[in-house]
Amino acid sequence: MTNVLAYCTQPILGAGLGCVLDGIDNFHLLECCTTPDSLYKQAKQSLPNILLLETTPAITLDFLQELVQVSGGAQIILWVEEPSLEFLSQTLGIGVRGMLRKHLPIEAHVQCLLAVSSGEVWMDTTVANGLLTLKRVQLTVRERQLIGFVAQGRKNKDIANLMGISEGTVKVYLSRLFPKVGAQDRLSLALMGLRNVRSSQRNSQDKIGPASTSRLVPLAIPQFLSTESVAA
């Protein structure tokens, strides 16, 4: 029996998911949680085989990692509306094995559930093609720091002080960074950073400042498409 724990903030859609699962042999819906707290609690208690999750602002990369751990390694299927391809790309590395857009027919939902329960990765063609065409960007430590500060809404003068460089150097870095990551302006760069932020304490250990070993980045550093950072 494949036990499924679902998360959906809309009761009517959750009931629909339950009906779909009831129609699949050897599948059992444990519960459809409506809050992150209840989802976390049930994942820890019931140890489901599959987590079927609606993507809401509460479903962050860190929260997904925690769910995988407390559930005993459950396979995750994300139920998405308008997916952020950057976010989806990163989730593949932390246990996500299925990606379902909400408007797909019931047959597609069944195919996804069956495939993931068999150990396969499943996503529809549109999402798959989007992930294949993502621009993979390798960022230096300074570039990741800079994006993080821009995402915080900091001005160039503040960023310069925090990074131990001149305001003019900040402007130069930004002018090079925009085309590198495909951002058109400061706002799109900030939004891109916010979408990719991972609130992991280990990422806050990147050092900033010229030859400084005491000041640390005071926020989670955006990780773009799970690429490795290179020396600044």
Q: Report the share of the chain in percent with pLDDT over 70.
A: 81
Tokens of 208: 């900033």
Last residue within a domain, chosen from 67, 98, 132: 132
Residue 83's pLDDT band (boundaries 50, 70, 90)?
low
User: Residue 177 and residue 171: Cα distance in Å, rounded?
Assistant: 10
* CA 113 vs CA 44, 49, 191, 204: distances in Å: 21, 11, 32, 37
**Confidence at residue 205, expressed as pLDDT on a 0 to 100 scale:** 39
Residue 56: both structure tokens together: 């809401």
Q: Which residues pair with 197 in a beta bridge?
A: 222
Does the pLDDT value for residue 156 go beyond 50? yes
Residue 136 binned pLDDT confidence (cut-offs 50, 70, 90): low
- Full-model pTM: 0.62
**Host domain of residue 31:** 2-132
Average pLDDT rounded to a whole number, residues 57-80: 92
Find all residues with CB under 8 Å of 2, minimum gap 6, and list them. 26, 27, 28, 49, 50, 113, 117
Kindly report the CATH number assigned to the domain that includes residue 146. 1.10.10.10
- Residue matched to tokens 């990741």: 144
Rounded CA-CA distance 17/12 in Å is: 9
Say how far residue 69 (Cα) sits from the centre of its chain: 16
What residues does 77 pair with on adjacent strands?
A: 52, 98
Q: Give the domain CATH number at 10.
A: 3.40.50.2300
Question: 145-160: string of b/e by CB count within 10 Å (b at 16+)?
Answer: bbbbbbbeebebeebb
**pLDDT reading at 189 higher than 60:** yes
25 and 128 assigned to the same domain? yes
- Say what the pLDDT of residue 220 is: 34
With 50 as the cut, is the pLDDT of residue 91 above it?
Answer: yes
Together in a domain, 117 and 202 = no
Shared domain check, 144 and 83: no
Average pLDDT score over the chain:
79
Is the pLDDT confidence value at 193 over 90? no
Q: Which range (6-10, 158-162, 225-229) has the least confidence? A: 225-229
Which tops the pLDDT comparison, 32 or 231? 32
Q: Do both 39 and 127 map to the same domain?
A: yes
Model pLDDT, residue 194: 67
> What is the rounded average pLDDT of the residues 197-224?
36
Q: Of 88-102, 121-135, 161-175, give the lowest mean pLDDT range.
A: 121-135
The verdict on 10 and 103 lying in the same domain is: yes
Residue 4 near residue 48 (C-beta atoms within 8 A): yes
- Counting the structural domains of the chain, the total is 2
Residues 36 and 104 occupy one common structural domain:
yes
d(CA 104, CA 70): 30
Please check the confidence at residue 206 and state whether its pLDDT lies above 70: no
Residue 53 — very low, low, confident or very high, per pLDDT cuts 50/70/90? very high
